[in-house]
Structure 1
Amino acid sequence: MVPNLDKLIGISTYCTKTEGTGGKIKSTPDQFFVSEILREKSLGKISSSGSYTVYKLKKQGIDTNHALSDIFTKYGLRLKALGLKDANATTEQYVCDMTTGRSTDTLVTNRYTLEKIGLVQKPLTKKDMVGNHFKIKIEDANFSKVIQFADHEKILNFFGYQRFGSKRPVSHLIGKAILQRNFDHAVETLLSFTSEYDLPHNNKIRNMLKDKSNYSKVFDQVPPQMDIEKIVLDEMINHGDALKALRAIPIQLRRFFVEAFQSFVYNQTVSKAYEFGEDMMQPQQGDVCFDKDDNLGRYQNDPMQRLAIPLVGYSYSKKNRFDNFISQILTEQQITPKEFFIKEMQEASEEGGFRQAVISCHDFVIKEPYVDFTLSRGSYATILLREIIKPSDPVAAGF
């Protein structure tokens, strides 16, 4: 049986039979280390001449979006990350200045450092990143249960808890309300959705925000970490227009909400297909696959190809063996693919695409109490760890 939190984000199965080790992660940010790995070819493009500056961002106790927002506010640098990294971790990642001719050498604050490493002719994109290396401490684990963990290459590539909000899995619900053009409900959900895993003080504030007449009264009590809620509240107090209030949220976050709903549909699709008995580990004739260079194409009986599962968007095509599951989920959720084109908020529209069905894990090593491994881009370490630990309460276990 999977924990209730897993079901809330669309995961209803395990794909390993091993007994969980138990234990917990992320007691402190330095126990969860992650660093990005760039393609050799991309590293070779970084030199002493070029139009765009590349930096290495090292951070702890702040997520990527907040770090980049802080850098822009304080130093005027508009940086783009190749991937998003969690707050409760020690992370190293590449970021690229999106404006030509501006740069700084090194910035140091108590939560992040930004170090210039060179210049490129064209800005780096997430395609330049091949994966992430992790070194993670698992406290209080029974490691004798993990020695036989040889199935780490056969783990379904679910979207992890962070995609939805670990302590408050709400991002996909806001995204769904946006897709249904129910902008009032999106604002209500963002402000007042409560979770049993959240802090009591936060839930108290959110319960008060269920009543719109409290907006002005509660505004000054909203804690600093609820910065997005403050932006929306301020807009709602000033003009009461929900769509306008949502559009005051930074664009990457608005996209993130819609993508979170897309991720929820994907998680449910993979869960249902796996439980139904579809072969998720090997591609078949007619499947869409990634090749060794991450290019998409139809299956060609090539052992290097990896099965790809559709991510629903406005360009979704039903011609795939997972459509029965996808169509059933969309019907239950009362969403159609074409609704992913949002006329009222075009910048958050989502075309769709594909995601690798199985995690690609390399160099998996146990050095008690640490595990060391490398995952391909876009895969979540917490999904690999959930199969190892099998936590009964993911939040208490640090997920």
Structure 2
Amino acid sequence: MRKSPYPIDHTLGLSWYISDLDGIGGRLKGDPEDFVVEEISDNPSSTGTGPYLICRLTKKNWDQQRAIKEIAGRLGVSHQRFGFAGTKDKRAVTTQFISIYKADPAVIQSLHIPDMTIEPVGFSDHQISLGDLKGNRFRISLSEYESLKPETTTDDIVAGLAGGVPNYFGYQRFGVQRPVTHLTGLDILRGSYEDAVRTFVSTPSTGESEEYAEGRKFYADTGDAKEALHHIPVRLSLERSLLHHLVSNPGDYAGAFHTFPRTLRSMFVSAVQSWLFNRALSMRIEEGRGLADPVEGDRIVFSDGRSDTVTTGTSRMAAMQVKRDRCRIAIFMQGSEPVQATGPDDKNMAWLMEQEGITSEMFGTASTFLETRFSGAPRSILLNSDVSIEMGENRMNFAFSLQPGQYATTLLREIMKADPIMMI
């Protein structure tokens, strides 16, 4: 167990490495082709005549929300017609299924968008929604890493991961250069919608261009949405959509967030849940409680979604079930439903919420405002995957699969122990 030396890790709650091996450093995503992600899913199409056209979308170096908006713009329809199972990385080559309400396959096939392929595969009676996938398959090439020590082999690296790693929410959930998603979510939870707009538009990004930085600073200093549109670059389309709404609807800061697709605006509050989970998990590790050693008061979650609480009488059986991988220790991610604290993790979560001035009622209000449920759920604290490593020319190549909601960077940071800026 090692403490991360990087301040951003502690800001986002990723305070610990579980592996004692020295990191090899390196760079992820030197090129988009270095990070290949393929969604694992039952083909959601059917031979029916439902209103949802199912397409296989492959894109390179496209932010997902901007990709959806680009397709919608070419079709002349609202981005609200689109559905997808999960958000994929920008600087990568990604393949996933999307649904489009009442789209013509012939028109889709006629689209020519650089670094993007959209292949109609059928129709469905149902829209694809967040979580409608089995997982993701990764092929990742690491460059600029340090040479392995003579006594260390790739087998040693794999063995160091055999017991699993903390199932942190990864950097993409929050941003490394601009970790603003959860901060915006905190403002929304507190009902401070004007602050939420200012946080999202004005928070600077590490290493961003002077043009971007000046535009953000102008809005931070003036709060003048109309004039800020002359300073905020066109590529910052999400920021500009908030400002455009405020120009047309002065003072309607809450309504500004409804210019975003529901899947996007829901991510702000869910990022708060993720941030609290990361911090609670780091507190567990710091307190010396294991990731696979259940004790009284721990929550456990089974593969079928059932959950339970470990008691004095069931602790031995729970330990056996965890060892056989029939269940995992979990931390309950707080939401709108009040939760009675049963163990140390629950008490730590309650303390974190009190420190941030967050209540379950706030999640309920946000659920109504954002039209998304934030009821809370248990999340496993352990991430396991069978990792294969091959040495290439100036490359270390990794292949593995992860379950929904798990992050490749969470796994690879244990091997690299590099500055997070090298991992985005």
Say yes or no: TM over 0.5.
yes
Post-superposition shift, 1:29? 0.7
Counterpart in 1 of 2:47? 48
1:172 aligns with 2:193: no
Counterpart in 2 of 1:362? 386
Q: Contact conserved, 1:313 with 1:340, CA < 8 A, in 2? A: yes
**Which SS does the other structure have where 1:340 is aligned?**
helix
Mark the CA change 1:374 to 1:198 in structure 2 (over 3 Å): closer, same or farther. same
Counterpart in 2 of 1:216? 226
After TM superposition, the structure 1 = structure 2 runs for residues 195-274 of structure 1, keeping only pairs within 5 Å, are 195-212=205-222, 214-238=224-248, 239-274=250-285
Post-superposition shift, 1:124? 4.6
Counterpart in 1 of 2:24? 21
Cα distance in 2 for partners of 1:208, 1:186 equals: 16
Cα distance in 2 for partners of 1:143, 1:307 equals: 36
Mark the CA change 1:168 to 1:231 in structure 2 (over 3 Å): closer, same or farther. same
Mark the CA change 1:269 to 1:347 in structure 2 (over 3 Å): closer, same or farther. same
Cα distance in 2 for partners of 1:139, 1:46 equals: 38
After TM superposition, the structure 1 = structure 2 runs for residues 23-42 of structure 1, keeping only pairs within 5 Å, are 23-38=26-41, 42=42
**Which SS does the other structure have where 1:277 is aligned?**
coil
1:336 aligns with 2:359: yes
Cα distance in 2 for partners of 1:131, 1:146 equals: 29
Structure 1 counterpart of 2:369, which letter? M
Counterpart in 2 of 1:351? 375
Post-superposition shift, 1:279? 2.1
Q: Which stretch of structure 1 is more off in the superposition, 316-325 or 55-64?
A: 316-325
Counterpart in 2 of 1:306? 328
Counterpart in 2 of 1:95? 98
Post-superposition shift, 1:202? 2.0
Cα distance in 2 for partners of 1:33, 1:175 equals: 29
Mark the CA change 1:374 to 1:79 in structure 2 (over 3 Å): closer, same or farther. same
Structure 1 counterpart of 2:240, which letter? K
Q: Contact conserved, 1:365 with 1:373, CA < 8 A, in 2? A: no
Cα distance in 1 for partners of 2:143, 2:420 equals: 14
Output the aligned Cα RMSD.
Answer: 2.5
Deviation per residue, 1:323-380 (Å, 9 max, x gap) = 1110111111111122101267151551111222111312433343211111111111
1:112 aligns with 2:116: yes
Post-superposition shift, 1:100? 6.1
Q: Which stretch of structure 1 is more off in the superposition, 171-180 or 245-254?
A: 245-254
Counterpart in 2 of 1:152? 161
Counterpart in 2 of 1:184? 194
Cα distance in 2 for partners of 1:316, 1:110 equals: 48
**Residue 306 of structure 2, aligned match among 292, 296, 308:** 296
Counterpart in 1 of 2:402? 375
Post-superposition shift, 1:268? 0.4
Cα distance in 2 for partners of 1:31, 1:216 equals: 40
Post-superposition shift, 1:109? 1.6
Mark the CA change 1:365 to 1:296 in structure 2 (over 3 Å): closer, same or farther. farther
Q: Which stretch of structure 1 is more off in the superposition, 224-233 or 377-386?
A: 224-233
Cα distance in 2 for partners of 1:263, 1:146 equals: 34
Mark the CA change 1:367 to 1:378 in structure 2 (over 3 Å): closer, same or farther. farther
Counterpart in 2 of 1:131? 135
Post-superposition shift, 1:36? 1.0
The TM-score with structure 2 as length reference comes to: 0.84
The sequence identity of aligned pairs, in percent, is 27
Q: Contact conserved, 2:23 with 2:417, CA < 8 A, in 1? A: yes
Deviation per residue, 1:375-396 (Å, 9 max, x gap) = 11111111111111111x321x
Aligned residues: 391
Counterpart in 1 of 2:313? none
